[in-house]
Structure 1
Amino acid sequence: MDATSPRVSGSPASGPLRERGPGLLVMDADSTLIEQEVIEMLAEHAGAQERVAEVTDRAMRGEMDFAASLHERVATLAGLEETVFAEVLAQVRLTPGAEDLIEEMHRRGCRVGVVSGGFEEVVVPLARRLGIDHVAANRLETAEGRLTGRVVGRVVDREVKEIMLRQWAGQDGVDMARTVAVGDGANDLGMIGAAGLGVAFCAKPVVVEQAPAAVHVRDLRAVLDLL
């Protein structure tokens, strides 16, 4: 692969993406749009951070099925009060350059989406605040004001992330050749492979090896170097 700058490597935009610019950019949330893993932040409140961090790391390296890992991690959250979501949202830190990247994409007429293996309860209000156009994430089940330790509905895994990229591109009338997907974990590889330009962002080795391009600094503005 050809290095395009000290901050990035791989193949920069080409074809329709280079000629007409991006029409849709889709990012992962945890460790991409934001600095942290929300499941680990929730687990800290449940006293299960170490166990959850270990399972998260294995899942992101592609060593275990993402859906199975999610159910295992979510089970540790049973009994937490719903008020924990507001506490975690207040602690979330955006990755440097996140707001600038979103603003620049919108300036270019590009739509922006976030598809997350994390949770609607945190991702949706964050996306709303940032003016993000599309959002998909998991939803945690609650009963009587407390988490049950289960997920409601489908799990946003590798397959669903790719499906959402394609669905949003169709809704926005954007050719897949003009889409960009950015993520850090093995569950992002489907959308990274399907996009016109797939970008591994400070990613696990398995993702860097398979992604057409990679960003090596924790600054989302570096994605612009590839465009």
Structure 2
Amino acid sequence: MSHVTEYAPGLVIQGFTPPLDLSDFKLIAFDMDSTLINIECVDEIADAAGRKEEVAAITEAAMRGEIADYKESLRKRVALLRGVTVADMEQVYTERLQLNPGAETLVKACKAAGMKVLLVSGGFTFFTDRIRDRLGIDYTRSNVLEIKSGVNCGELTGRMVDQEWGDICDGAEKRKMLLETCAKLGIPPKQAIAVGDGANDLPMMGEAGLSVAYHAKPKVREQAMVAINSGGLDRLLEVVRP
């Protein structure tokens, strides 16, 4: 895409002339890990199993787009979580997870403009459900970690549970969910904003009318219409005004 411009310090735009009007959009879709929140949940869960370094290396490669099969990379990481407890995950949520700066402000502004909010994540329902409730998000799609019952109940098995829509929320599933949500709302994808940071966000960002990279990997920054490289998520409101 041409016409790359540093609109303000740490805020790069390409392919359009700001400001845009927030009321022209009807849906905003967010990735969760390292976008709406400050951590990669799978890496922090792995820390409880003493495997954070190993899992984080796979996560980084996947987010950079260096791993072709995202689903397989996630299965490998989840397998390393076997034996981690629900209590460990609760500790990650309460002690390590924070909303990224400006997340709450941006979501509130979008809702005030009459927009619906979608959270699509390659992470896990344990966290997306809590973020959904915390921010009043309308729709979510993410992965379910399998938890043992009976002996050793409350421990992760190292597997994920298939859902009615499929097995794993990867880049293709994020795109599909964005398009399905637009269809449900009766709007064209050009009235959607998609915000992400990793390679698995590019399929949905490519469908949206406005694509936003937040402190993203180089490949994502290059392809996004807006790249927020410093400051909070609410910097989007500098170019898409309420």
Shorter-chain TM-score: what band? over 0.9
- C-alpha deviations, 1:57-113, integer Å up to 9, x for none? 000000112111101100111111222232222121110001000100001001111
Q: Distance in 2 between matches of 1:90 and 1:117?
A: 20
- The offset of 1:19, in angstroms, is 8.3
Write out aligned runs for 1:93-132 (5 A). 93-132=98-137
Residue in 2 aligned with 1:81?
A: 85
Amino acid at match of 2:116: R
Residue in 2 aligned with 1:38?
A: 41
- The offset of 1:11, in angstroms, is 3.2
CA contact (8 A) 2:22 2:113 kept: no
Q: Secondary structure at the match of 1:174?
A: coil
Q: Distance in 1 between matches of 2:133 and 2:22?
A: 30
Which structure has more helix as a fraction of its residues? 1
TM-score computed with the length of structure 1 as normaliser:
0.94
Residue in 2 aligned with 1:151?
A: 160
Gaps of 5+ in 2: none
Q: Distance in 2 between matches of 1:19 and 1:111?
A: 12
Q: Secondary structure at the match of 2:7?
A: coil
Amino acid at match of 1:99: E
TM-score computed with the length of structure 2 as normaliser:
0.88
- The offset of 1:14, in angstroms, is 6.6
Q: Secondary structure at the match of 1:4?
A: strand
Q: Distance in 1 between matches of 2:37 and 2:122?
A: 13
Aligned pairs, how many? 226
Pair 1:71 & 2:75 matched: yes
Residue in 2 aligned with 1:24?
A: 27
CA contact (8 A) 1:138 1:155 kept: yes
CA contact (8 A) 1:12 1:226 kept: no
1:183 to 153, 178, 196: 196
- C-alpha deviations, 1:15-46, integer Å up to 9, x for none? 9x748522100010000000000001100111
Q: Distance in 2 between matches of 1:79 and 1:204?
A: 31
Amino acid at match of 1:85: M
Query: Aligned-residue CA RMSD in angstroms?
Result: 1.7
CA contact (8 A) 2:71 2:170 kept: yes
Report sequence identity in percent: 39
Give the direction of change, closer, same or farther, for the CA distance of 1:95–1:9 in structure 2 (3 Å limit): same
CA contact (8 A) 1:8 1:213 kept: yes
Amino acid at match of 1:97: G
